[in-house]
Amino acid sequence: MLDHVYCTDFWCEKEFLMGCRRDWLVVCIIFNAWLWQFVHGSERYNAGDLLDSFVYDYAIKKLHRPRTGRLYNVVLPANFSGMEVSFVRLRTRRLWKNGSNYNSSFSIPPWVLPWPFTKRVDLVYQNLGNLSSSYYNVPNYTFVAPVIGFLAYDPNRSSASYGLIELHLLSDDPIIVRFPNISTHEDGNVTMKCVRFDVNGTLEFSNVTVKSSCIVRRQGHFSVVVPYQPNQAIRKNYWVMGIAAGVVGLVLLLVIGILAYRWIKGKGSRKWREILKEVKDWTQFGWGGAECLLLQVLELNRLSRIAIFLDQVIEFLAHAFIYFLHGLFGKFVLLFSQF
């Protein structure tokens, strides 16, 4: 009887210890999952994500108790001027049956369900306008349309940051994104691309369809971009500045060459007159006078060679200047014909 009791107590103690271990294991898993969510969330957020969280939180506080099925235009603070935000709360069964066409820029088809599932869905539409480049950037591309977007939230969750949910399309019909204002690009050969900004900062590119629209299957922010190219006006200004600098440089070289040629030629003429004057009296100086005369003749010869070289340089610069002016006229005609 005692053995039986001891055995029973032993197994009870063993089961108690195993239960404690299981409880601690569950606690550790939950704690690690919470830490991972915190760390992952801190990496995920960028300027656009923080803006989304602020906009939704501000809209909820501003509207207080929004009516289901009614579209509200949310007026943001003054430092967000130029940005447009609208808000609508829908029942999930209505979203499933009819989709959503409350905003002219987005057409959400029927057969859409939120994930995780919720009975109501808050849709927030955004048009960043002139603030687009302040919150979003596409390397090596330029925006030709404002960044617009829509996000779905669970109104039953208390925190705006954790209330973001996904919309799952269960049909083949996509979401159509229409851009009301697309800047026409100067180069008609440049291909425009749709870009989607996901909530984790990744980019997705696709082709622009007819009527300045994009076809997508997920929520997020969208815009139209073209490959970055230097401004044509700046390049034309560089051409004009380069041509002007070339003209001024050639003129300066030509003037300096002419002045140097005239100075050396004048110095050679004076030296030649001095030699002729001294030749008449060279006998009275003896061999010393002859040596001095020879040195002056050699210097005169050197000056003559320099003068001949400068004469050739001036002639070359003059021909180059004439040729440059001839080509410059054609360049100007071609350049200004493109304005």
pLDDT of amino acid 234: 54
Instruction: Calculate the dihedral angle through the C-alpha atoms of 117, 122, 128, 129, rounding to the nearest 10 degrees.
Output: 130
Give the global pTM. Answer: 0.58
pLDDT tens track of the chain, all 339 residues?
A: 444 444 444 444 444 444 544 454 444 444 444 444 443 433 445 788 889 989 999 999 999 889 999 999 999 999 998 899 999 999 999 999 999 999 999 999 999 999 999 999 999 999 999 999 999 999 999 999 999 999 999 998 755 455 889 999 999 999 999 997 787 665 556 788 999 998 777 899 999 887 789 999 999 999 999 988 765 555 556 666 777 777 777 777 777 777 776 776 666 666 656 655 555 555 555 545 555 555 565 666 666 677 677 677 777 777 776 766 666 666 555 555 554
What percent of the residues of the chain are helix, what percent strand, and what percent coil, each to the nearest 5?
Answer: 55, 20, 25
pLDDT of amino acid 202: 85
pLDDT of amino acid 31: 46
| Distance set, CA 317 to CA 313, 325, 328 (Å) | 6, 12, 16
From the list 57, 53, 51, 111, the residue with the least C-alpha distance to 83 is: 51
**Domain layout of the chain by residue ranges:** 47-227, 232-336
What CATH class does 47-227 carry? mainly beta
pLDDT of amino acid 198: 83
pLDDT of amino acid 87: 96
* Amino acid type, 3: D
- Judge whether 242 and 209 are in contact, CB under 8 Å: no
pLDDT of amino acid 222: 96
How far is C-alpha 298 from the chain's CA centre? 68
Residue 40 φ/ψ, nearest 5 degrees? -60, -40
How far is C-alpha 220 from the chain's CA centre? 20
pLDDT of amino acid 122: 95
Residue bearing tokens 């404002």: 146
